[in-house]
Structure 1
Amino acid sequence: MALGFVFFLSGDVAFAQQNKNKIDQNVQSLLSKMTLEEKVGQMAQVTLDVITKGKDRFSSYEPVVLDDKMMADVFGKYKVGSILNTANNRARTPQEWYGIISGIQKVGKGRLKIPVIYGVDAIHGVTYTAGATFFPQQIGQAATRNLELLKKGAQITAYETRASSIPWNFSPVLDLGPDPRFPRIWETYGEDPFLTAEIGKVVVKGYEGDDNNVSSPFHVASCLKHFLGYQVSVSGKDRTPVYLSEQALREYHLPAFKAAIDAGAHSIMINSGLINGVPVHADYSILTKLLRDELGFKGVVVTDWGDIENLYQRDRVAKDNKEAVMMAINAGIDMSMIAYKYEPFCDDLVALVKEGKVKMSRIDEAVSRILTLKYQLGLFDKPLTNYKDYPKFGSKEFEQAAYQTAAESITLLKNHNSVLPLSKGAKVLVTGPNANSMRTLNGGWSYSWQGEKVEDFAAKYNTILEAVQNKIGKMQVNFVPGVSYKMDGKYFEEYADRMEEALQAAKNADAVILCLGENTYTETPGNLSDLYLSELQTSYAQQLAQTGKPIILVLNEGRPRVISKFEPAMQGILMAYLPGNFGGDALADVIFGDVNPSGKLPFNYPKFPNSLANYYHKPSESRSVVEGVYNYDADYNPQWEFGFGLSYTTFAYSNLKLSSNSLSADDELSVSVEIKNAGNRTGKEAVELYVSDLYASITPDVKRLRAFEKIELKPGESRTLTFKLDKSAFAFVNRENQTVVEPGEFEVSIGGLKEKFNIK
């Protein structure tokens, strides 16, 4: 598990408390010396383009040079305490980052020598650092079901973020991703609350260290996002209204955030949207009563990009910027991610305090949290780290971890007549718009916000085509795109690219590797109106199938695009998600049998656009009625269910046993099961335990994931796993919004085996 670099673990509770007391004293001492304007400046955060030379504050000249005049205004006059993002929406080398942030820290400290805190979205590796190690996006990470692997990835990302002189990471995304229409589902860990919570905990520890000692030069402060209930809008589109009961909010959306807060996360970012008509950035009940009073969160609360301005510009709950600032700060916001126009926020907040509309105690509260974070990060002693102290940056060791994560994420969805793995002697046609693209392997938040600059930085890595050529030799591989992406004005379109030639080439191949999916996107640019895979890609797949050749469909996509129009004609189907720079290599190894696939779906893969029920749906969503008078395809009928994933070997489950068939709510239940590799290949299996509450005062979910573990078995090898379940595995949120365990009948299921028990 160790990466070969030092972790600073005190293990001394008394010392930790002493350090906390010292920080508290330093913060209060500093606070007492600060003017109102200096305090308000600490609550402001602007993007890097604002303080660099360029034609305006929205862009920078290349190479990037800090603008002394703008820095004098930002840091000297307005006392701004935080910078984020990159310049020109473009990745920088560690050397560039060191030069930029070194210059910021020299100028930004001000009369009280308060260091600037720099934040960045390093969500699957260090997004804006050239040469950084890129892992699969979060949705693919969830498919691995391998917590140890994901923690290691977070440690590597923290190391490389600090190698970029940046101490604050706006990650992980702990939004639930239950709606495949939403454009940011690939930034989540999928649709299940338990899986998201378990991964969130280990990722926070990977970023911050097991003891959350973020002063370590190898750790960063994590930032949970986006609190709360962001990705379940009625329309399925980004930043559009959510209507959600408090019961559902607590049952499905709160658990992951609570788990990560309990794991020690230092900061949290707020949902950009509205819940029940109220913008979350102005919701005191969520930001203070729930987050602070109930969950006990003590860290920094930061807005998302420009979201205080949105309270009046978009949401119209405030009549002007000043009222918007008042609403957000009084609701519980500590720091405003202003982005560009910092003057209105700072001027209005100073005025609001002087007018008594925002209390000084609220300002002191917010600023004390920000200063505390800066002390915790060690910025007062060492305001930036130096890339020269990070010899493992971009190392083979780190790349191997990224490759392994990609390999374990790939999910085998179909293997008709064991068409996979392909023979290395086969002649193959590699085709499709995603076949020869590093951009589509990585997705958004890769070297640039929308991922459009990936090809500028990732040329040394292998596309799917290049990886297949490396695997079996170029002479055995024919490549004809068939369909490609192109820029049409501001939008990317698909077009037929030598399609007839590709169809003819398929006739001369032993098998076709068809790489379909999506181009890169995130947030609002990723909104869509049709969940089906595009008409052109669908038509191309159907025409290829008519050649009669075996087709291996590789789905390289950020969300499950519906493929039921042509799925029956595909012999093999692999879900690659957005696997990162090593996704091509991992896919080639899976396709040709050097890696046995072990990924499991982190969501239901829908069969139709109007069939989007999650695996934990209510019984009324899957009904039995008289045959002949009901459309069974309109019932609960996913293409593949959450947790599905095939292997090149066979795992047999047996001997499901419970420690008791009758227990009280406070008793622990032990569940054991035997798993045997009944095939002839070594393989990894994610063993998943589900609990069903069969009867309850609120209609219960059909089943819920309550435990999982990934194991590796050799052919013929057996292993018995034992899971320990406490009352959290039997509980739900009732009509009074209380988490309760009700007596009654329950059922445990693992690998098709089921056993019932009663809670007295």
Structure 2
Amino acid sequence: MKKILLSALAAATIITGCSISQGSEQKVSVEGNQEVESLLSQMTLEEKVGQMAQITLDVISKGDNVYSSYEPLQLNEDLVRKAVLEYHVGSILNTANNRARTTEKWFEVISGIQKIATEESRLKIPVIYGIDAIHGTTYTAGATMFPQEIAQAATFNRELVRKGAEICAYETRASAIPWNFSPVLDMGRDPRFPRIWEGLGEDVYLTSQLGVEMIKGYEGANNDISNPHKVASCLKHFLGYSVPTSGKDRTPTFIPEVELRERHIPAFKAAIDAGAHTVMINSGIINGTPVHANYDLLTKLLKEELGFKGVAVTDWADIDNLHNRDKVADSPKEAVKLAINAGIDMAMIPYSYDFCTHLVELVNEGEVSMSRIDDAVRRILTLKYELGLFEKPVTDYKEYKAFGSEQYELAAYNAAAEAITLLKNKEGILPLSKGTKVLVTGPNANSMRSLNGGWTYSWQGDKVEEFAGEYNTILEAIENINGKNNTTFSTGVSYIETGKYWEETKDINSAVSAAKGSDLIVLCLGENSYTEKPGDLHDLTISSNQIELTKALAKTGKPIVLVLNEGRPRLIKDIEPLVDAVVQTYLPGNFGGDALADILFGKVNPSGKLPYTYPMYANTLVTYDHKPSEEQNKMEGVYDYESDFAIQYPFGFGLSYTTFSYQNLKLSKDELGADEEFTVSIEVSNTGDVEGKEVVQLFVSDHYASITPDVKRLRGFEKIALKPGETQTVSFQLSGRDLAFVAKDLQWTVEKGGFSAMIGDQKADFNITETKAFGPKDQIL
């Protein structure tokens, strides 16, 4: 029996050519509590180094090798003892065989690890277990799967985002896991990047605001992670990971100092200020230097300037990559030296113990200082104490009665319903009436895998069908509302498993034939699940098979509702004119099918807004906050260049089944000093016939500046609900500091001159009367 939610309607300077410091003494050090300092004073070098090591679960499970385990999963106690007692390993991550486990199995496995660590080791130091739970507890069967971060960003709803993180924290702790490698704060400013869906979109302010909400949800308002319902969060991936020059994962990029501070630091700064306990490091290369070997970024910026007191952990095998892939270290041992001296505290090894051997040798040889080791271990031990692991190393699933509850599932449904974005609705074809003869077709029509995306029950999301059979695909959700007699299915294009993860096959003629007996076609296109390197692509255009299917169906003359289910905005310019409506679902999770069907048939009024600019052309991948020179397509009426800001849909765009009007934009001041506060207010009215939610977005434009200004920047947003005929006044509090940009001297600066505030179709001008620099640490957002 498929699940149907009956109550669903309720409720310092960064050097451009960054250098590698070979043996630099750490200038920043955290202070441990009395217990930490006492423990640290008793530890041998080998015990300290072990705390800095993190292995994957397969290494200590029964199996033929360290890369896979037997099923059913069982610990190999001899291998656990080797890891914890011989090498003193302080952390374990991941699942085994790349698959989800029950809460009972997690309790059994982690209890077995902690029993050896806390009863048999000399100093009784518990292990800290970490997992990638990025839209729900990824590797736990029965956990509540929320929309992926990009979809959560589309809600523009702080409360929903925070609630999702709270539930994820609870269910991760129910799995006996206290450390979550989330949130992802990488800026989604290049739609080619295969992990854009893991982040919160292209805008700095939106990402900063929602990232803080996720920290609050994971760690609690006071960051008391000893609370057994909370987890330690981990900011990913510091820094500038998501804008590689090629668009492909883990490849080089060149980021000017101004851009790094303007776009990439603020969200991390906001999350650090919000108390985030850990950070994971960018796997790529910035300005020729791998970030894992970059002292300027990891120590001078992260730990000294931004004041980060927590644990900096590597990404998967990234210290080895300094030698094997990036060629900046002439040996694996040299790679360890570079990374630890740069500021790495914990190494995601994840298979070999060579890291431990190399680091002990490096300290004994004077290549890595003991103070650097002590600083790293102090941070790790402090994290373990703050999580309460010394008092209670394992949380018991039997104490988590709300795990997978209908209340939590309703929250996931609500997030999906507020994320889904209506982009086109020609002649009001939506919503549909029950009883409409509908053909549901396309490769994403009957797949839970594509609804969820990667990091769902497995790394690539390929095991979703095994674990999510009780939830509804788009087809099944439409059948539940419209009836099976009124709903026909023909796949048209299908995803198939191959050695390249997945490919497509087609049977377009069958879909065309099935359309003949239908009144309307719901065409579900997009992508199958993927993440990281397997998601790299050469062409952002939606697949040729899906284009062919769309064109063939358009020739039938039947109206088409295009449903997009994709991790990044695939180019649709050749087919968008052929369809009557476009609905973007992103990756909406297990309840995405239900939420979409409720929107298609009018039970829910769509309210999502695009968290990125939807591109139209492969050579026009430009964000909304671009420079004025991106819009120079004409010259004195003589020449017409293809240099305009040509996009499919703008950032912040999304339609509704009702209409909203904006009036009476007011400023409390139109002349103000650099530090003065002022209020921007607007009246918003629902001028349509149905209740709806609207995202009120405040943009600010700097008319002239010493560095060419962005055409506009988001500086406030608020989501409100309005009944037909209702009017509400929405106010935003700003100051001159909110208008600052990073100047040529790398100082956050507001310059005197004219500005505009814009909300909807309303605009008001004002002036800043003085210039002021606020300093590099004042990240503003």
Task: Give the TM-score, by structure 1 length.
Answer: 0.96
Q: Is 1:196 the equivalent of 2:207?
A: yes
Equivalents in 2 of 1:349, 1:735: separation in Å? 40
1:492: Cα distance to partner? 1.1
**CA–CA distance in 1 between the matches of 2:38 and 2:499?**
55
Q: Is the partner of 1:101 in helix, strand or coil?
A: helix
Choose from 288, 300, 307 the match for 1:296: 307
- Structure 2 residue 601 is the aligned partner of structure 1 residue 592: yes
Shift in Å, 1:630: 4.5
User: Is the contact between residue 494 and residue 504 of structure 2 (CA under 8 Å) also seen in structure 1?
Assistant: yes
Q: Which amino acid in structure 1 is aligned with residue 105 of structure 2?
A: E
| Residue of structure 2 equivalent to 1:445 | 455
- Alpha-carbon contact 2:313-2:346 (below 8 Å) kept: yes
Mapped contact 2:435–2:483 kept (Cα < 8 A): no
Distance 2:197 2:541 in 1: 17
- Residue 586 of structure 1 aligns to a residue whose secondary structure is helix
Q: Which residue of 2 aligns with 1:5?
A: none
Tell me the SS of whatever aligns to 2:665.
strand
Q: What do residues 532-561 of structure 1 show as CA deviations (whole Å, max 9, x unaligned)?
A: 000110111111111111100000000000
Shift of 1:501: 1.7
Match of 1:616 in 2: 625
Q: How far apart are residue 624 of structure 1 and its match?
A: 4.7
Aligned pairs, how many?
740
Amino acid at match of 1:232: V
Shift of 1:629: 5.3
Paired position in structure 1 for 2:271: 260
Alpha-carbon distance in structure 2 between the residues aligned to 1:61 and 1:196: 41
The answer to whether the 8 Å contact 1:135/1:406 transfers is yes
Match of 2:614, SS state, is coil
* Structure 1 residues 202 and 383: CA distance shift in structure 2, 3 A: same
Kept after mapping to 1: 8 A contact 2:598/2:604: yes
- State how 1:308-323 maps to structure 2 within 5 Å: 308-323=319-334
Opposite residue 448 of structure 2, the aligned amino acid is M
Segment of structure 1 superposing worse, 725-734 or 213-222: 725-734
Distance in 2 (CA, whole Å) between partners of 1:491 and 1:113 is: 43
Q: Which residue of 2 aligns with 1:120?
A: 131
Specify the SS of the correspondent of 2:561.
strand
User: CA shift at 1:115, angstroms?
Assistant: 0.3
Q: CA contact under 8 A between 1:214 and 1:376: conserved in structure 2? A: yes
User: Match of 1:700?
Assistant: 709
Root mean square deviation of aligned Cα: 1.3
User: Which residue among 428, 435, 438 is the counterpart of 1:425?
Assistant: 435
CA distance in 1, matches of 2:376, 2:671: 50
Cα-to-partner distance string for 1:47-88 (whole Å, 9 max, x where unaligned): 000000101000000011111221121111100010000000
2:704 is the counterpart of 1:685: no
Q: 1:179-218 alignment to 2 at 5 Å? A: 179-218=190-229
Paired amino acid for 1:707 = G
- The 1:632–1:574 alpha-carbon spacing in structure 2 relative to 1, beyond 3 Å, is farther
Contact 2:32/2:379 (CA < 8 Å) preserved in 1?
no
Shift of 1:336: 0.2
The aligned residue for residue 93 of structure 2 is: 84
1:226 is the counterpart of 2:218: no
Partner residue, 1:364: 374
**2:63 matched to 1:54?**
yes
Percent of residue pairs identical: 64
1:531-542 alignment, distance < 5 Å: 531-542=540-551
Secondary structure of residue in 1 paired with 2:682: strand
Match of 2:569 in 1: 560
1:583 aligned to which of 582, 592, 602:
592
- How many angstroms apart in 1 are the aligned matches of 2:488 and 2:370? 69
Alpha carbons 1:23, 1:375 under 8 Å: kept? no
Alpha-carbon separation, structure 2, partners of 1:590 and 1:610: 33
Alignment of 1:9-28 (within 5 A): 24-28=33-37
* Structure-2 separation of matches of 1:628 and 1:470: 56
Judge conservation of contact 1:672–1:722 (CA < 8 Å) in 2: yes
Partner of 1:16: none
Preserved contact between residue 126 and residue 157 of structure 1 (Cα < 8 Å): yes
Secondary structure at the aligned position of 1:339 is classed as coil
* Aligned position for 1:75: 84
The amino acid of 2:210's aligned partner reads I
Q: Secondary structure at the match of 1:229?
A: coil
**SS at 1:513 equivalent:** strand
Measured after TM superposition, the shift of residue 488 of structure 1 is 2.9
| Match 2:482 to one of 447, 472, 478 | 472
Output the CA distance in 2 between the equivalents of 1:649 and 1:383: 52
Ranges in structure 2 where 5+ consecutive residues have no aligned partner: 1-9, 12-29, 770-781
1:665 pairs with one of 656, 671, 674: 674
Aligned to 2:751, what secondary structure does the other structure show? coil
Q: Secondary structure at the match of 1:114?
A: coil
Query: Structure 1 405/24 Cα, relative in aligned 2: closer, same or farther at 3 Å?
Result: same
Q: Distance in 1 between matches of 2:383 and 2:728?
A: 45
Whole-angstrom distance in 2 between the partners of 1:89 and 1:360: 37
1:488 equivalent to 2:498? Answer yes
Contact 1:146 1:709 in 2 (8 A): yes
Alignment of 1:125-136 (within 5 A): 125-136=136-147
CA shift, 1:631, in A, is 4.8
Match for residue 547 of structure 1? 556
Q: Residue in 1 aligned with 2:519?
A: 510
> Is the counterpart of residue 238 in structure 1 residue 243 in structure 2?
no
- Tell me by how many angstroms 1:507 deviates: 2.1
Q: For residues 315-341 of structure 1, give each alpha carbon's deviation from its aligned partner in whole angstroms, at most 9, with x where no partner exists.
A: 000000111101100110000001111
* 1:691/1:729 contact within 8 Å kept: no
C-alpha deviations, 1:95-147, integer Å up to 9, x for none?
00000000000112311010000000000000000000000000000000000
Asked whether the equivalents of residues 675 and 737 of structure 2 are also in contact (C-alpha less than 8 Å), the reply is no
Shift of 1:726: 1.9
Partner in structure 2 of residue 728 of structure 1: 737
**Deviation, structure 1 residue 291:** 0.6
The structure 2 residue matched to 1:461, chosen from 449, 465, 471, is 471
How far, CA to CA, are the matches of 1:586 and 1:108 in structure 2? 45
Q: 1-side partners of 2:32 and 2:325: how far apart?
A: 39
Q: For the structure 1 residues 183 and 631, does the alpha-carbon distance in structure 2 shift closer, same or farther, using more than 3 Å as the test?
A: farther
Contact map agreement 1:134 1:581 (CA 8 A) in 2? yes
Which residue type is aligned with residue 296 of structure 1?
G
Please point out which of 376, 385, 405 is paired with 2:386.
Answer: 376
Question: How far 1:728 moved relative to its partner?
Answer: 3.2
Paired residue secondary structure (1:264):
coil
Match of 2:538 among 529, 539, 545: 529
Instruction: Give the CA deviation at 1:491.
Output: 3.5
- From the superposition, tell whether residues 22 and 609 of structure 1 become closer, same or farther in structure 2 (CA, over 3 Å): closer
Q: How far did residue 727 of structure 1 move?
A: 2.8
Residue 751 of structure 2: aligned partner: 742
How far the C-alpha of 1:264 sits from its partner, in A, is 0.2
1:669 CA drift (Å): 1.6
**What is the identity, as a one-letter code, of the residue corresponding to 2:388?**
G
Equivalent position of 2:23 in the other structure: none
CA deviation string 1:164-187 (max 9, x = no partner): 000000000001010000000000
C-alpha distance in 2, partners of 1:219/1:95? 19
In the superposition, relative to structure 1, how do residues 627 and 452 fare at CA in structure 2: closer, same or farther (>3 Å)? farther
1:653 is displaced (CA, Å) by 0.3
Q: Which residue of 1 aligns with 2:103?
A: 94
SS at match of 1:470: helix
Q: Do the aligned partners of 2:91 and 2:129 also contact (CA within 8 Å) in 1?
A: yes
CA pair 435-633 structure 1, distance change in 2 beyond 3 A: farther
SS at match of 1:293: helix
Question: Which secondary structure state, in structure 2, belongs to the residue aligned with residue 361 of structure 1?
Answer: helix
Task: After superposition, give the CA deviation of every residue in 1:169-226 in whole Å (9 maximum; x if it has no partner).
Answer: 0000001010000000000100000000000101001000000000000000000010
